[in-house]
């Protein structure tokens, strides 16, 4: 015979007031929402990274659809077929790839978990302040110019030396 927990009922500790009440309070995960391609996996987590990834993929898809449209515009034939081929194929391909992009960035568990973890790690990074970045950039530019001047002087000295010993001719 099934226990009350297996039947979906409340357990013995709940009937005496000691267990809490909701399943979430007991550490029982809520049931997953009914499936579907549009349901996001953990929608509250990693939102910025996932939306950014989805938008970047959409931009690449739009560029690819435009490129394909330009390449297909050389098609000659009946006006209806020409419009169907030059506009229809890029649109259908773009929408299909957009759906795949949605699935990869929002629905697929592995890629969503990766993006959620990435956003979590990015929040841990100690980002440099604007003042530190400007100071570091000035140091790099100054060092680059000093190194270029040093190499110029070394080049002139070697050129003069090789000219004196006869390796180079004026």
Q: What is the pLDDT of residue 117?
A: 92
Radius of gyration of the chain (CA): 32
Give the number of other Cβ atoms within 10 Å of residue 69's Cβ: 17
Q: What is the pLDDT of residue 12?
A: 47
Q: What is the pLDDT of residue 25?
A: 54
Residue 136 gets the label, from left (phi > 0), alpha (psi -120 to 50) or beta, of alpha
| DSSP code for 109 | H
Q: What is the pLDDT of residue 34?
A: 47
Give the C-alpha separation, 161 to 77, whole Å: 73
Give the number of other Cβ atoms within 10 Å of residue 26's Cβ: 14
Residues of the chain under the 50 pLDDT cut = 4-6, 8-20, 22-23, 28, 31-32, 34
In angstroms, what CA-CA distances link 59 with 9, 34, 55, 65?
A: 49, 30, 6, 10
| Cβ atoms 106, 40 nearer than 8 A | yes
Q: Which of 122, 121, 113 is nearest to 45 (CA)?
A: 113
Predicted TM-score of the model (pTM): 0.54
Give the number of other Cβ atoms within 10 Å of residue 8's Cβ: 8
Whose structure tokens read 């409340």? 10
Q: What is the pLDDT of residue 23?
A: 45
């Amino acid at each position: 015979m099934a226990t009350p927990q297996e039947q979906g009922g409340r357990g013995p500790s709940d009937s005496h007031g000691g267990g809490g009440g909701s399943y979430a309070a007991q550490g029982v995960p809520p049931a997953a929402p009914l499936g579907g391609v549009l349901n996001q996996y953990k929608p509250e987590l990693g939102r910025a990274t996932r939306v950014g990834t989805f938008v970047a993929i959409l931009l690449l898809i739009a560029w690819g659809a435009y490129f394909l449209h330009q390449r297909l515009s050389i098609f000659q034939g009946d006006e209806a077929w020409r419009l169907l081929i030059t506009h229809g194929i890029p649109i259908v391909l773009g929408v299909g790839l957009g759906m795949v992009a949605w699935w990869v960035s929002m629905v697929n568990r592995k890629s969503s978990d990766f993006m959620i973890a990435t956003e979590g790690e990015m929040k841990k990074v100690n980002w440099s302040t604007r003042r530190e970045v400007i100071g570091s950039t000035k140091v790099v530019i100054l060092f680059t110019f000093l190194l270029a001047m040093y190499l110029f002087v070394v080049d002139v000295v070697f050129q003069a030396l090789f000219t004196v010993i006869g390796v180079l001719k004026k």
